[in-house]
C-alpha cells in the first residue's frame, strides 16, 4: 500500500501534520524517542503535557509541537514487555489504534510512528512490527482521509524487519 512509508531517520526532523511519541505514563518526558522529542520541541511541550495528567497504557493524547517542524504530537504509551502474558500485544495494538483515531479526529492527514515499545520497553521487534503494520493497514483501508503513515525505523534491526514485512 503506497500510503505506508518507511523512513530511517530521527522522527524530530520530519515535517508532517503529526508525529507520534512513544511516551511513558507520566507524559513528562523520558529517554529514547520521548527525550529526543522533548529536547527538540522545547519547554512549551512539557508545560502542555503537565496539564494532561498522564496517560494510561494503550491510550493517546495530543499536544502542539512547539519547536518541532511537525504541527502536532500524539503521545501514546506502549506496554512494557513482561513475558507476553500481560496483554502486551493487545495494549500495543491499542496504542496504534488510539493514535490513528486521534489523528483522524484532529484532521491530520500525514503522520509518523516510531517503533513503539521496542526500545527500553523491550517488546520483541518482529512481533511489534507485525502488530503495527496490521493496525495501520486496516485503519488506512477504512479511512481514505488519512493520506500517509510513515514508520520511522531508527535502528538497523527494525529497518530490516519493516523492509521485509512491507516488501
Ligand atoms: P519505548 O520505551 O516505547 O520502548 P524507546 O524510545 O526506548 O521507547 O524506543 C522506541 C523506538 O524508538 C526504538 O526502536 C528506538 O530505536 C527508537 N528511537 C529512539 N530515538 C528515536 C528518534 N529520535 N527518532 C525515531 N525513533 C527513535
Domain ranges across the chain: 4-166
Nearest to 4 by CA among 138, 137, 165: 137
CA–centroid distance, residue 77 to ligand 1 (Å): 12
Inter-residue contact 45 to 35 (CB < 8 Å): no
Nearest to 118 by CA among 147, 154, 90: 154
In CATH terms, 4-166 corresponds, of 3.40.220.10, 1.25.40.10, 3.90.950.20, 3.40.50.720, to 3.40.220.10
pLDDT in tens, 126-136: 999 999 999 99
Inter-residue contact 145 to 104 (CB < 8 Å): yes
CA angle 14, 19, 24 (to 5 degrees): 130
- Atom of ligand 1 lying closest to residue 11 CA: 24
pLDDT in tens, 92-112: 999 999 999 999 999 999 999
Tell me, using a 6 A CB cutoff, whether residue 34 lines ligand 1: yes
- What phi and psi values does residue 160 have, to the nearest 5 degrees? -65, -45
C-alpha cell at 109: 492527514
Cα separation, 153 vs 160, whole angstroms:
9
Tell me, using a 6 A CB cutoff, whether residue 120 lines ligand 1: yes
pTM of the shown model: 0.98
The reported pLDDT for the residue numbered 28 is 97
Amino acid at each position: 500500500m503506497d500510503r505506508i512509508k518507511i523512513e530511517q531517520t530521527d522522527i524530530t526532523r520530519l515535517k508532517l501534520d503529526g508525529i507520534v511519541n512513544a511516551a511513558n505514563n507520566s507524559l513528562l518526558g523520558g529517554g529514547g524517542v520521548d527525550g529526543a522529542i522533548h529536547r527538540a520541541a522545547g519547554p512549551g511541550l512539557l508545560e502542555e503535557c503537565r496539564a494532561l495528567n498522564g496517560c494510561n497504557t494503550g491510550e493517546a493524547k495530543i499536544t502542539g509541537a512547539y519547536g518541532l517542524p511537525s504541527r502536532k504530537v500524539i503521545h501514546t504509551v506502549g506496554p512494557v514487555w513482561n513475558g507476553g502474558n500481560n496483554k502486551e500485544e493487545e495494549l500495543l495494538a491499542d496504542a496504534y489504534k488510539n493514535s490513528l483515531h486521534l489523528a483522524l479526529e484532529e484532521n491530520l492527514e500525514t503522520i509518523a510512528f516510531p517503533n513503539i515499545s521496542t526500545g527500553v520497553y523491550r517488546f520483541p521487534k518482529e512481533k511489534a512490527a507485525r502488530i503495527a503494520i496490521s493496525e495501520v493497514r486496516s485503519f488506512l483501508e477504512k479511512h481514505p482521509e488519512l493520506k500517509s503513515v510513515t514508520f520511522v525505523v531508527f535502528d538497523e534491526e527494525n529497518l530490516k524487519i519493516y523492509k521485509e514485512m512491507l516488501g
